[in-house]
Amino acid sequence: MVRAKRLLAVGLIGLLAVSGCSTESPGEPTPANVGNAAGLAGALQRVQSTPETRQSLSYGDVAAVQQLIKADERRFRLIDGTGLDHLFNYRKLIQEGIDLDLSVMREAITAGVPPRWAGIVIGDYDVAAVDKRIAARDVPQEKDGDATVWTSGANGEINLDSGPFQDMVQLSEFNNIRTEPGAFSYAPMADALAWVTKPEGQRLAEDEGMSAAASCLGDVVAARLVRDSNAPDVVVAVGVRAPSASEVTEVVCFGSPNGDAEELRARITTALEQAGGEPAGMLSDAEVGVDGSTVRLVLTPGADEPVGRTLQLLQDGTLVRLVSG
């Protein structure tokens, strides 16, 4: 039986926290002045708002997730690598190839959709050691203040046979790299790299749908926010809250396309009640509420159940189908 309740002032408070209330300009997004803006809210502040980044953003609190993995690898492995996305399966090869251990970084963000996307990993690492290993691969470089920009291929070029990073990543992930204190950034396209290193104009925090979805998710260690072509007016977001390995909730948020969140809540509730054995049926016991213009589902996994199944429901299109019909 789906339970419903209305969530009031917390929605407005959370939205203000994500979008910001300051009249000051966010300034140039360097590790020095963005590094303290942690969490999903900080991720939205860091990323430039473009048609591609408004379609997809993935965020992971790498440090927190690694602590959860240490506590119970079997239970939390589904959220391991969230935010790293394209690099997740190559972590060991990257560490061996350029001395960059992604598992000890602080946060990871991937924004955009192939072939136009960019990623950034935030945290301290030995920049000089990484630069030395990249330079040994004869990758053209250009200095930009304390940063070094490396270009190993043309925009979107895929070189499976002789690319300088072909032993580490499969496609064009490292065509463009920026190394600097506090951050390691990468993208197939040079202009996309700037979305996470030197964003211009609006940030994703200023996108109403994205910021409302992030506010709805709350303080999460892993999250994914998407606008699907089958429901382009709705931001569907999934996140995992885990203050500790024993305190875990999964949250699913749907932005109302016409501002009528009650109508959307009723539609989702009906769909969940009819789901039965379908994948979405796992949400049939979720607590459903309205948070401003957003519908929020909160699910508490059992102590022995894997965490991150809602991320899978987003990835396979199940959640989008709930609101695209």
d(CA 289, CA 251): 11
**Confidence at residue 160, expressed as pLDDT on a 0 to 100 scale:** 65
DSSP 67: H
190: tokens are 């040079």
Domain residue limits, the chain: 3-13+204-324, 33-197
Band of pLDDT at residue 268, cut at 50, 70 and 90: confident
Q: How far is CA 87 from CA 53, 82, 121, 155, 229, in A?
A: 18, 10, 10, 18, 25
Lowest mean pLDDT among 122-136, 253-267, 286-300: 253-267
Whether pLDDT at 281 is above 90: no
pLDDT tens digit sequence for 98-120: 999 999 999 999 999 999 999 99
207: tokens are 């996108």
**Confidence at residue 233, expressed as pLDDT on a 0 to 100 scale:** 80
Q: CB neighbours of 205 closer than 8 A, spacing ≥ 6?
A: 18, 19, 20, 41, 44, 45, 211
Q: What is the CA radius of gyration of the chain?
A: 20
**Confidence at residue 37, expressed as pLDDT on a 0 to 100 scale:** 63
Lowest mean pLDDT among 23-32, 145-154, 188-197, 234-243: 23-32
242: tokens are 């885990």
Whether pLDDT at 35 is above 60: no
Residue 225 bridge partners (DSSP): 57, 237
Average per-residue pLDDT for the chain:
86
d(CA 183, CA 35): 9
**Confidence at residue 292, expressed as pLDDT on a 0 to 100 scale:** 86
**Confidence at residue 29, expressed as pLDDT on a 0 to 100 scale:** 44
**Confidence at residue 279, expressed as pLDDT on a 0 to 100 scale:** 73
Whether pLDDT at 285 is above 60: yes
**pLDDT higher at 130 or 159:** 130
Instruction: State whether the Cα torsion 322-255-310-54 is positive or negative.
Output: positive
**Confidence at residue 11, expressed as pLDDT on a 0 to 100 scale:** 33
Residue 241 bridge partners (DSSP): 249
**Confidence at residue 269, expressed as pLDDT on a 0 to 100 scale:** 85
In the chain, the largest separation of any two C-alpha atoms, in whole Å, equals 61
75 touches 120 (CB < 8 A): no
**Confidence at residue 237, expressed as pLDDT on a 0 to 100 scale:** 97
Band of pLDDT at residue 325, cut at 50, 70 and 90: low
Residue 57 phi/psi, 5° resolution?
-145, 135
Whether pLDDT at 51 is above 50: yes
179: tokens are 């190394």
**Confidence at residue 21, expressed as pLDDT on a 0 to 100 scale:** 34
d(CA 99, CA 86): 18
Q: CB neighbours of 159 closer than 8 A, spacing ≥ 6?
A: 153, 166
Q: Residue 155 in 3-state DSSP?
A: coil
**pLDDT higher at 161 or 301:** 301
The candidate with the shortest Cα–Cα distance to 85, out of 50, 28, 43, is: 43
